[in-house]
């Protein structure tokens, strides 16, 4: 829902989020069979394992075992194994609402079980809590350009094991007084430097994410659509010879979490995320203007597709009096037919836009994600592609 603030969250499927801690030992996430999909990541935003349809259980259900850093025991048989580089872990599962049945999808999420591998005698199973009616903010936008960014970074470094491949980064941070096991107490001079650095760093990442110039960002040469995630299908943004930190920055400034399944450009599995920032003339999308997006039908999906509008400042679903940020094949667009469908975006509903319009905010920039779940071959070979955004002048 738009009132749930989080980096490029979507309204396509209900989410089930789990914030876990492995300090007391391994934890088990048990999934039932059915249309569930998701992943587990540690606090470093590093992928641990996929679960559900894109995972090793392939939607047939199973027990997924999360092992803490340094675990040297022998895992028992009958589990899918994931090893974390931090104690704190986030697991996110989504339930596909078959035929638009959101209530049934939410109930399916509630059948997921979480418990320690070594079950204590006094164990009480956790209860799912429905946050749907409540506003929430999962983002650091309030302090990502302030001193609190560095203070939060220190807390994470102080409470988690160091990453083996990041020793040089820890060395740079040590020069700033951010060291595991030591207090972080910058003087006024250093505070001013760090505040400016946080602001500049946030601005730089905004440029990398939303004003990228890399040639490989473009999906089709005759369109302005970009890859939301540049092509690294291993979930770690590693090439053969190096880690693509620019691509990593681009993704994580826009989004939360990554996994190989999210980036798999394969007709047999995975999903596609296309980033729409500009109109057909190459100008950034403007909340005060009205645009039309023509989508050829049928869209080559095996599951569903959607177009979601995000506020360029918060990177979260746009919040307007319409209380709506997405047009989805499972809901608003389930009955569309013909050779194409026109979708509209602008501050006022245009003629013919009933049920196919998302309200935008004048004087604010916005962008979209075009998502295809279960993409088919035409989405990859260029024989199918959406149009560019075209300004509608009344």
Alpha-carbon gap, residue 236 to 359, rounded angstroms: 35
Please answer whether residues 362 and 287 qualify as being in contact, where contact means their C-beta atoms are separated by less than 8 angstroms: yes
pLDDT of residue 138: 87
Whose tokens are 């920039």? That residue is 365
Longest dimension (CA), the chain: 69
pLDDT of residue 196: 97
Peptide bond into 305 cis (omega under 30): no
Q: What is the DSSP string of 356-388?
A: SEEE--TT-BEEEEEEEEEE-THHHHSSS----
pLDDT of residue 95: 93
pLDDT of residue 136: 85
Alpha-carbon gap, residue 394 to 391, rounded angstroms: 10
Q: How many CA atoms lie within 13 A of 256 on its CB side?
A: 23
Closest CA to 308 of 268, 352, 255: 255
pLDDT of residue 230: 77
The architecture (CATH level 2) of 215-255+264-391 comes to: Sandwich (2.60)
CATH number for the domain formed by residue range(s) 4-136: 2.60.40.1610
Kindly give, in sequence order, each residue whose CB lies less than 8 Å from that of residue 256, ignoring residues fewer than 6 positions away.
Answer: 6, 7, 8, 9, 45, 138
Show pLDDT as tens, one digit a residue, over the chain (394 residues): 688 888 998 888 888 999 999 999 999 999 999 999 899 999 999 999 999 988 999 999 999 999 999 999 999 999 999 999 999 999 999 998 887 888 999 999 999 999 999 999 999 999 998 888 888 888 999 999 999 999 999 999 999 999 999 999 999 999 999 999 999 999 999 999 999 999 999 999 999 999 989 999 999 999 999 998 876 667 788 888 998 989 999 999 999 888 887 777 665 557 889 999 999 999 999 999 999 999 999 999 988 999 999 999 999 999 999 999 999 999 999 999 999 999 999 999 998 888 999 999 999 999 999 999 889 989 988 999 999 999 998 7
pTM given for the model: 0.92
DSSP 8-state assignment for residue 281: T
Kindly give, in sequence order, each residue whose CB lies less than 8 Å from that of residue 98, ignoring residues fewer than 6 positions away.
Answer: 35, 104, 105
Q: What are phi and psi of 329, to 5 degrees?
A: -70, -20
Alpha-carbon gap, residue 328 to 306, rounded angstroms: 4
H-helix or E-strand spanning residue 210: helix 188-210
pLDDT of residue 292: 98
Count other Cβ atoms within 10 Å, centred on residue 216. 12
Length of the chain counted residue by residue: 394
Closest CA to 64 of 98, 86, 89: 89
Please give the CATH topology (third level) of the domain spanning 147-210.
VPA0735-like fold (1.10.3360)
* CATH 2.60.40.1610 residue window(s) in the chain: 4-136
Alpha-carbon gap, residue 149 to 163, rounded angstroms: 19
Closest CA to 132 of 3, 19, 39, 310: 3
Q: How many angstroms separate the first and last alpha carbons of the chain? A: 30
pLDDT of residue 268: 56
* CATH 1.10.3360.10 residue window(s) in the chain: 147-210
């Amino acid at each position: 829902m738009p009132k749930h603030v989080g980096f490029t969250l979507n309204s396509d499927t209900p989410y089930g989020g789990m914030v876990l801690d492995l300090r007391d030992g391994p934890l088990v996430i048990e999934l039932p069979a059915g249309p569930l999909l998701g992943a587990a990541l540690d606090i470093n935003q590093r992928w641990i394992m996929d679960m559900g349809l894109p995972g090793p259980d392939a939607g047939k259900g199973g027990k997924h075992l999360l092992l803490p850093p340094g675990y040297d025991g022998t895992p028992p048989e009958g589990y899918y194994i994931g090893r974390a580089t931090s104690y704190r872990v986030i697991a996110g599962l989504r339930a596909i609402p078959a035929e638009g049945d959101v209530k049934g999808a939410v109930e399916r999420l509630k059948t997921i079980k979480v418990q320690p591998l070594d079950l204590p005698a006094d164990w009480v199973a956790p209860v799912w809590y429905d946050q749907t009616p409540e506003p929430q903010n999962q983002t650091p936008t309030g302090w990502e350009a302030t001193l609190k960014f560095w203070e939060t970074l220190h807390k994470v470094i102080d409470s988690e094991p160091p990453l083996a491949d990041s020793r040089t980064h820890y060395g740079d941070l040590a020069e700033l007084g951010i060291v595991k096991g030591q207090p972080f107490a910058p003087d006024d001079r250093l505070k001013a430097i760090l505040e400016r650095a946080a602001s500049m760093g946030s601005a730089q990442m905004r440029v990398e994410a939303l004003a990228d110039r890399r040639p490989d960002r473009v999906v089709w040469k005759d369109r302005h659509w970009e890859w939301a995630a540049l092509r690294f299908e291993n979930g770690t943004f590693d090439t053969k010879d190096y880690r693509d930190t620019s691509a990593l920055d681009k993704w994580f400034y826009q989004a939360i979490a990554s996994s190989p399944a999210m980036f798999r450009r394969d007709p047999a599995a995975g999903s596609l995320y296309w980033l729409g920032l500009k109109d057909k003339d190459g100008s950034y999308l403007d909340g005060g203007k009205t645009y039309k997006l023509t989508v050829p039908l049928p869209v080559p999906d095996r599951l569903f597709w959607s177009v979601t509008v995000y506020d360029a400042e918060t990177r979260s679903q746009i919040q307007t009096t319409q209380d709506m940020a997405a047009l989805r094949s499972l809901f608003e667009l389930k009955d569309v037919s013909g050779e194409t469908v026109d979708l509209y975006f602008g501050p006022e509903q245009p003629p013919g836009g009933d049920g196919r319009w998302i309200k935008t905010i004048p004087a604010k920039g916005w962008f979209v994600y075009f998502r295809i779940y279960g993409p088919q071959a035409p989405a990859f070979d260029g024989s199918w592609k959406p149009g560019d955004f075209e300004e509608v002048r009344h």
